[in-house]
Every structure is written in C-alpha cells, then in structure tokens.
Amino acid sequence: MTASWWKMLRLAAGLLAAALAAVLVGWHSPSGPEQLRRQPRSFSSQPAPGAEANNLFWIIQVSDLHISKFQSPERASDFEKFCAETVPVIQPVLTLATGDLTDAKTEDKLGSDQFEVEWQTYQTILKRSKVMEKTKWIDIKGNHDTFNIPGLENVRNYYRKYSAWKKDGSFHYIHSTPFGKYSFICVDATLNPGPKRPYNFFGILKANKMQELSSLAAESSGSNHSIWFGHYPTSAIVSTSPGIRTAMRSATAYLCGHFHTLGGLMPALHTRHRHGTLELELGDWKDSRKYRILAFDHDLFSFADLKFEEWPVVLITNPKSFLYSSAAHEPLQRILHSTHIRILAFSPSPIKFVKVSIDGIHLGNAVHVSGPLYVLKWAPQNYSEGFHQIEVTVQDASNRNATRLHTFAMEENLSLTFNLLASWVLLTDLYVLVRVVFVLMVVVQIALLVIFRYRGNPTLKRPLGRAMRASFSLHILSKINFFYHSFLLLSFYTLLGPWFIGDIIDGHLGVCFSFGVIVDGHFFEGSTTYLVGIMQVAFFNLPLMAYTCWCLLLRCQGYGFGYYLRHAKQWPIHLSMALLFLWQVYSCFFLLKTYGTVAFFLSPLRLWTVGLTLFLVYRTWTLQSSMLRSFIVEMKNAQSS
C-alpha cells in the first residue's frame, strides 16, 4: 500500500479517535459518595432508621407498555392483572408510567399511527381495575404515543383524552408527608408535532423547555428529595445548553425507559451523572414484564427492578446499597446511627420468615412491624470499615422464596463502579456520536476519491498483492470521469440531501435531510437521521464503490461480465453486493409503507440511487476498452515484469 494511502487512513483514524474522545470526555461513572463534584447538602444524623414504621414510603414505576391493536394481546391482559392484583399488594403511594403506553405501529410493523382502540384499551384497564383509587397514577407520553400527531391540539392526540394525567408538557408533582416534601419532576422531551417512525426516536428539549425545567428544579429546592422522570434516557435527548444532565443536577435520581434494556442484552442499565444524580433505565413491560419499586426510608433512597408475578418482592432499605449511594442527596450517616436493619417484603400470601445474613453470617430472622416492614436489631459499628454484603431471604406461605443481596459500606472514601457499557450507553450523547461518525465516514469516502483523482499514476510492481490491487482499482475509478463524478455526487448528496420528500405526518409534507427533518414549519435537529446515514454509507455507498473498483480491476485484467459465471470463487462477491442492493430496494419499500407514495418517488437517496446503481453496474461491464487502455497496459506491464 502506498505511503499516501497509509497517511490518509492514519489521518481519518486520528480524526475519528479525536471526535469520539470529544464526545466521551464528559462522561465518567464512579459510584459511591466520593464521585461528587459539588458541595454535598448538610444532613442531620437523626432521625435514624429504627424499629418503628415511620419516615417511610414507596412508589412503583412501570414503562413501555406498548399496548397494541395487532400484537401480543397478553400485554394488555397481564397489565390489567398487574393493576388489579400486584399494585394492591404493594400499595404504593404513587405509580409512574413512563411512556410508550401504546404501540402505535401498523400490523406489518412498518408504518405508525395513533389507534384510538389502543388508548381505549389502556383507559379501560385503569378504570376496570380501579387502580387509580389505590394509588396516585401518573402516566406520561413516550415517542410511540406521539407518532403521526400534527400537534397537541389535534384530535389524534389521544393522550389528552384517555390517559390518567391528560396534561401535555413537563410538570412538578409534590408528594407531602409529615416528615417532608418529595418532588417528582416530569421531563417531557416528546416531539411536537410528532413525526412517524423512525425519525421520532430521540427526544428534543429546546431552549423554552429547558428554561421551564430549570424553573421546576428551582421550585423543588426545599424538598427532601427530587426525583426526575421521563421516557427518554438522557443520552437520547437533544437538549440546548446547559444540557439536561446539568439541569437535573439537584435530583437524587432520573427514572426512564425507552431502551428496553437493549433488548435484554443489558438487564441493568444504571449509571450516575458527574453531579451525583442516578440514571435508572427500567426494562420494558412489552416483552420483559418489568416494573420497579422505589422507597424512601428516613430519606435513604433504595429501589429494586422486578419481574411481574415473581413473589415475594424484597427491598432492603437499611443498610442501603453503596453502589447507589449519594452523599450529595442522602443522609448516609444515618446508616451508622441506625438501630435496625429494615426490609420491605411483599407477597399475596403471608410472609413465613425473613432471614438476614451479613458477610455469610446469619444474624437472625427479621420481625414484622406493620405492613410490609420487617426489622432486625443490629450494631452498625461492627461494619464501619470496608465493604460488606447483606443477604435477605424471604419465604411466603405458598413456599415461594426470594433472595436479595447487595454491598454496603459506612466509609465515604471507598468506590464501586457501574457497568462500563451501561454507563457508556446512558452518558454518551448518542446524537453527537452518530453525527461525528456519519460525517467522518462521508468525508473519508470523498477523500479517497479526491486523493486518488489527483495523485500521480501508481507504479505497479510484482507481486501484485491485495493492497496494490486495491490502490490501483481506486486509481482506475477516480480517473474515469463518469465513476468519479457519480460517487462524488452520491457522497455529497448523502451528506447534504434532501433524502426524500413525503408525508412525515399524514397530510403534512416534510423534507428529510441528514442534519434534520422539516415538517409543517418545524425543524427537528438530526439524530436518528445520522444513524440511518451511517447505515446507508456503511452498507451501501462504500460497498458499492468497492464493488465497482473490483469490477473495473477485472475489466483491466481482460475479464468480461460472464467471468463470474465460470469461476465460482467470484460468486460470493457478486452475491454479497446483490444482497446489499436488495436491502437498498427494501428501504424503498419501507419508505413507501412509512411515508407514502410521494416519498417513494421523491427519494433521491433511495429509489433514485437504485436506478443509479443499475446504471453504474451496466457502465462498468460495457465500458469501452479504449477508456481502459492505459490502465490495461499498466496492468500487463506489471504482470509481465
């Protein structure tokens, strides 16, 4: 491979590494009290957790219900059972349903729309189960709940008609108790108007919404705790300065859904912001039947992610997990001053026993106080140094067992770390990352074309290795005007667009570019568009250029179109390109089903590129030998020398 080739690749790799470093430099995920970058609040060591059932309450979170008209009716029936049976057993003071209440996808799963029957099913479940009489029910919108909605006032905004909360936008709900106030702040980052899928995956918080959230944060300054909740993880929110994570820096935790634990690959998508706020993504109800219980016990925050119909439910509130501790938001010294280990145990059947062990040593059985609270006297001073592990096993009258354990510590100068991949997923601004990767991929392709267009003719030497052949094939493609201008046009057009014009929302024409979507006078900054662009470049633009280079090299070696029919070893290359071409054709079909006939025909990056591809392949194999003569001579000289 030539020196200039290596130089160009090193430059591209350096740019990519620098861009990724710039994206990732802001995230860090240590855990435990020492990770904080600001002065912790001042807390009293009293009241400390004891044997009484005081200074305690708990809530439930459920997310991504995806109640569907077409798919999996058991989602709705199980959810009704959850509302009618599980919630009454746990008896939370508050239940948060954090978005994607409905599925809003067509039967073929390609299109998206608001189906009133899905919302009616959701409302019927709430009413028939009488769950709103048993808990304060707050439900918010997710991206699926805003698919294909021209505006908040539009009749298709069924959230206003069928949800329990009914009010659009961010808000501040205060739960008042004899021992203090607790703020719950909703982050509504859904799009208005709401485009159809897939360009409705990221949330957006413009300046006015960020200002509103800052005001809500100021309102909550006098509360014992602030819990923020929304549908989107912060990594999937496009927010203006100072950024959503900075805006919620006073929060103890941010509760969200949306990522479905990456399809089950990351069962615990949890991390911590640099200001100390926990970010806790909850697995979906749709497929995983997940829900969460969260408790405040003497202002110590604890939670457990649970699976529907798995009993008993166990939550250790004192001593709490060190991994999820925050000296900035919690009075952690109360653990050291506490007199009892405290456990919440729930089950439809009576609890038979609650066994407690620390560091493998059985301490005894916790005794029932009232409701779900069980306590066991302990001496926290015995565990004042280092890490320790508490394990609680609960059995109910139906002989069902559940065990919960976690690591705790009294010292503040210790550290545990969250899962690195989970932290990366939640703390990286994904829309910035995909933008950087997309632009660099396009720039690299353009750089290859320009460099080989204007560099001198390569000197071919035996043996003709793969690197030499690759360099020579790029030299051929770039020196032939038709191919050079075709691929240069494709690259620039992928970067600048427009990709297509169509019904982004039914009855509302819009335009899609890599850098964003324009519909009905609104501009939505690029996010999902960059991801689609990466797929276009990686799985079609670059492979098509590589395939064309390879075919031109075969032409220079004297082979025609029928060569691959006689040589089976060449079939995989043609077959691979054929499959990628079929993927491009399918993307045209997807565009038709998603955004309509206008988008299908007015789609230069999809339908028109299919036509360009066929013409490129045709020209490659029918190119006159006179246009290739100089390259053929160079190849023959190299082969004969």
pLDDT in tens, 106-154: 999 999 999 999 999 999 999 999 999 999 999 999 999 999 999 999 9
d(CA 318, CA 344): 10
Q: Which residues contact 568 (CB under 8 A, 6 or more apart)?
A: none
d(CA 373, CA 357): 17
pLDDT confidence of 554, banded at 50, 70, 90?
A: confident
Give which of 208, 252, 274 is closest to 29, Cα–Cα. 274
Q: How much is the average pLDDT of 271-296?
A: 96
Beta bridge partners of 315: 344
**Predicted local distance difference test score (pLDDT) of residue 8:** 40
**Predicted local distance difference test score (pLDDT) of residue 30:** 47
Can you list the alpha helix ranges (DSSP code H) found in 541-570?
542-556, 563-566
Question: Does the structure show a pLDDT above 60 at 464?
Answer: no
Contact 458, 475 (CB under 8 A): yes
pLDDT confidence of 29, banded at 50, 70, 90?
A: very low
- As given in the structure block, the two tokens for residue 116 are 């009133």
**Predicted local distance difference test score (pLDDT) of residue 459:** 58
Residue 108's CB is within 10 A of a number of other CB atoms, namely: 8
Domain 42-427 listed as CATH 3.60.21.10? yes
Question: Does the structure show a pLDDT above 70 at 211?
Answer: yes
Give percent above pLDDT 70 in the chain: 87
d(CA 17, CA 19): 5
DSSP output for 18-77? HHHHHHHTT---EESGGG--SPPPP--S-SPP-SSS-SEEEEEEE----B-SSS-THHHH
Q: How much is the average pLDDT of 555-563?
A: 68
Residue 54's CB is within 10 A of a number of other CB atoms, namely: 15
**Predicted local distance difference test score (pLDDT) of residue 107:** 93
Contact 487, 510 (CB under 8 A): no
* Choice between 480 and 76, residue whose per-residue pLDDT is larger: 76
**What separation in angstroms does the CA of 190 have from each of 255, 526, 636?**
16, 15, 62
d(CA 342, CA 295): 11
- As given in the structure block, the two tokens for residue 571 are 């079939």
**Predicted local distance difference test score (pLDDT) of residue 20:** 45
Q: What integer best gives the mean pLDDT of the chain?
A: 89
Give which of 145, 164, 158 is closest to 103, Cα–Cα. 145
The gap from C-alpha 375 to its chain's centroid, in whole angstroms, comes to 39
Rounded to a whole number of angstroms, the distance between the first and last alpha carbons of the chain is 19
**Predicted local distance difference test score (pLDDT) of residue 38:** 45
Report angle CA 620, 623, 628 to the nearest 5 degrees. 105
Question: Does the structure show a pLDDT above 80 at 496?
Answer: yes
Report angle CA 341, 298, 57 to the nearest 5 degrees. 95
Residue tagged 């009905």 (tokens): 520
**Predicted local distance difference test score (pLDDT) of residue 91:** 97
Contact 495, 475 (CB under 8 A): no
d(CA 487, CA 543): 12
**Predicted local distance difference test score (pLDDT) of residue 121:** 98
Question: Does the structure show a pLDDT above 90 at 413?
Answer: no
**Predicted local distance difference test score (pLDDT) of residue 234:** 97
Question: Does the structure show a pLDDT above 50 at 465?
Answer: yes
Helices 625-640, 542-556: crossing angle, 10 deg rounding: 70
d(CA 136, CA 303): 19
Q: Where are the beta strands (DSSP E) in 118-251?
A: 136-140, 171-177, 180-187, 203-205, 225-230, 237-239
**Predicted local distance difference test score (pLDDT) of residue 461:** 56
d(CA 340, CA 273): 31
Residue tagged 């850098």 (tokens): 515
pLDDT confidence of 13, banded at 50, 70, 90?
A: very low
Give which of 310, 338, 289 is closest to 394, Cα–Cα. 310
Q: Is the dihedral of CA 464, 469, 471, 474 positive or negative?
A: positive
**Predicted local distance difference test score (pLDDT) of residue 18:** 41
pLDDT confidence of 42, banded at 50, 70, 90?
A: confident
d(CA 572, CA 513): 34
**Predicted local distance difference test score (pLDDT) of residue 263:** 85
Q: How much is the average pLDDT of 243-271?
A: 94
Q: How much is the average pLDDT of 78-97?
A: 98
Beta bridge partners of 316: 343
Contact 165, 138 (CB under 8 A): yes
d(CA 145, CA 286): 14
Q: Provide the greatest CA pair distance for the chain.
A: 94
**Predicted local distance difference test score (pLDDT) of residue 98:** 98
pTM (predicted TM-score): 0.89
What single-letter amino acid sits at 553? L
d(CA 221, CA 223): 6
Contact 396, 349 (CB under 8 A): yes
Q: Which residues of 337-361 are buried (b: 16+ CB within 10 A; e: fewer)?
A: bbebbbbbbbbeeebbebbbbbeee
Give which of 179, 262, 186 is closest to 223, Cα–Cα. 179
Q: How much is the average pLDDT of 402-410?
A: 96
Q: Which residues of 541-561 are buried (b: 16+ CB within 10 A; e: fewer)?
A: bbbbbbbbbbbbbbbbeebee
**Predicted local distance difference test score (pLDDT) of residue 33:** 43
- As given in the structure block, the two tokens for residue 14 are 């350096």
Kindly report, as residue ranges, where domains of CATH 3.60.21.10 are found in the chain.
Answer: 42-427
Contact 439, 536 (CB under 8 A): no
Cβ-in-10-Å burial (0-12, 13-18, 19+) of 481 comes to: exposed
Residue 213's CB is within 10 A of a number of other CB atoms, namely: 23
Give percent above pLDDT 90 in the chain: 76
d(CA 365, CA 375): 9
Residue tagged 């959503």 (tokens): 244
Q: Of the ranges 31-45, 184-198, 433-447, which one carries the lowest mean pLDDT score? A: 31-45
**Predicted local distance difference test score (pLDDT) of residue 26:** 41
The answer to whether the bond into 193 is cis (omega within 30° of 0) is: yes
Question: Does the structure show a pLDDT above 90 at 9?
Answer: no
The answer to whether the bond into 350 is cis (omega within 30° of 0) is: no
Question: Does the structure show a pLDDT above 90 at 41?
Answer: no
